[in-house]
Structure 1
Amino acid sequence: MLLRIVDRLEEILIATMMAGATLIIFLSVVQRFAVGIPLLFPIASQFDMDWAQELCIFMFIWMAKFGAAYGVRTGIHVGVDVLIKRLEPSRRKWVVLFGLLCGALFTGVIGTMGAKFVYGLMGTDQTTPDLEWPSWMVYLCIPLGSYLMCFRFLQVAWAFARTGELPHHDAAHVEDLVGEDAEMGAPV
């Protein structure tokens, strides 16, 4: 139950950041060009969107950190497994587990270093240039995203140790999509 909530929150955060950044960039571009035509858009010159670029950069950084964790969970990260597939199954299992645990260790270390960095920033008055937010709020994505990714590596490693299966992404499959072929009994 808790895992499903975390999964959904992760997906909602990524989708919201992506949609929000896209909308903000669109509105910023419209506003920028509308200012040049004051007769058609007299209100555009009253809105200042100088902050939009900075906010979108922050949103894409947060989206990337949480998107990496999502990639580990769903198996969409790029992996080079040519040599691993040539190993005999008993050795392959240990090599894959070693790789997953190394990923967990690395992201755990990055999360801890990020947490120490954010904690150090919290005691300062550093702010972002345009939005004037406390800098620690922006950098908080490093420990949060890294710890989530560490958790996902451990989750995948645990499932792999029990079942021998890794998550994999089927580009041809769209969840909850029922097409004409599915109604006739053929796979979509």
Structure 2
Amino acid sequence: MLRILDRAEEVLIAVLIATATVLIFASVTHRFALGFVADFVRYFRVHDMPEASAMAKSAYLSLRNINLVWAQELTIILFVWMAKFGAAYGVRTGIHVGIDVLINRLDAAKRKFFILFGLSAGALFTGIIAVLGGNFVHHMYYASSISPDLEVPMWIVYLAIPLGSSLMCFRFLQVAVSFARTGELPHHDHGHVDGVDTEDEGIDELGDAYLHSPLTPRDLVEKEKDK
């Protein structure tokens, strides 16, 4: 079940990123194409080329009839959803930045307490946001408010708050339970590049430097890993 949830989370984030990227590309291309064709219309008129000017004007009118005003609004909505679910993904994979210089210097028992305290605080905070967000969406549903360009009900847009926060709360609890049982935290090696052999020159050194950095969260089994 967790594998299905993990995969669905990754697919959703990838789809949101891809859709937003395509929309931004199409919108910017359309905007520059309009200006480019308008310059051609002006050039042909100045140089007394009526046939070419008529063709360019026809192309300009065709492009202008393509309405992409809604693209900016949809892109913003997609980025909001992507940020909420991406934050949950970051908790699961250990991507979020944490300054743990003092905690890393503590003994194992105290370190475990503070790490669990931090994870529990994160779960509590995101849980509260999920509840408040759900209540907000409930009121928005009966308000019948819609977005200005897409005319989508705003409760659907704001649904990202309770859903994303609930998933993030679950991820905090998942990491906390796993840490309490095994003493391990999820780590993301920023020195690793997908598709590159980890035995290549420079990769091991960078990963080793990352693991031994005082700014990297060190779990309870880190010393055993270093041996």
Q: State the partner residue of 1:106.
A: 125
**1:16 aligns to 2:35 (yes or no):** no
Report the 3-state secondary structure (helix = DSSP H, G, I; strand = E; otherwise coil) of the residue aligned with 2:143: coil
How many residues matched?
183
User: What CA distance in whole angstroms lies between the structure 2 residues aligned with 1:30 and 1:44?
Assistant: 11
Q: State the partner residue of 1:89.
A: 108
Give 2:131's aligned amino acid.
T
- Give, in angstroms, the shift of residue 124 of structure 1: 1.5
- Give, in angstroms, the shift of residue 181 of structure 1: 5.1
Gaps of 5+ in 2: 39-55, 208-227
- Give, in angstroms, the shift of residue 158 of structure 1: 0.5
Q: State the partner residue of 2:67.
A: 48
Moved over 6 A (4+): none
Q: State the partner residue of 2:177.
A: 158
Q: 2:147 aligns with which of 121, 128, 132?
A: 128
Gaps of 5+ in 1: none
Report the 3-state secondary structure (helix = DSSP H, G, I; strand = E; otherwise coil) of the residue aligned with 1:123: helix
Q: State the partner residue of 2:79.
A: 60
Q: State the partner residue of 1:78.
A: 97
User: What CA distance in whole angstroms lies between the structure 2 residues aligned with 1:98 and 1:179?
Assistant: 37
Give 1:154's aligned amino acid.
L
Q: Could you say if the C-alpha distance between residues 170 and 180 of structure 1 is closer, same or farther in structure 2, counting changes exceeding 3 Å?
A: closer
What's the RMSD between the two structures over aligned residues? 2.0
Give 1:131's aligned amino acid.
L
TM, length-normalised to structure 1: 0.91
Q: Could you say if the C-alpha distance between residues 118 and 35 of structure 1 is closer, same or farther in structure 2, counting changes exceeding 3 Å?
A: same
TM, length-normalised to structure 2: 0.76
User: What CA distance in whole angstroms lies between the structure 2 residues aligned with 1:50 and 1:23?
Assistant: 15
Report the 3-state secondary structure (helix = DSSP H, G, I; strand = E; otherwise coil) of the residue aligned with 2:30: helix
**C-alpha contact (below 8 Å) 2:192/2:198 kept by paired residues:** no
Which structure is larger by alpha-carbon Rg, 1 or 2?
Answer: 2
- Give, in angstroms, the shift of residue 178 of structure 1: 5.8
Cα displacement string for residues 73-128 of structure 1 (whole angstroms, at most 9, x for unaligned residues): 00000111011011111110011001101100100000000000001111112000
Superposition map of 1:132-147 within 5 A? 132-147=151-166
User: What CA distance in whole angstroms lies between the structure 2 residues aligned with 1:45 and 1:77?
Assistant: 43
- Give, in angstroms, the shift of residue 19 of structure 1: 1.1
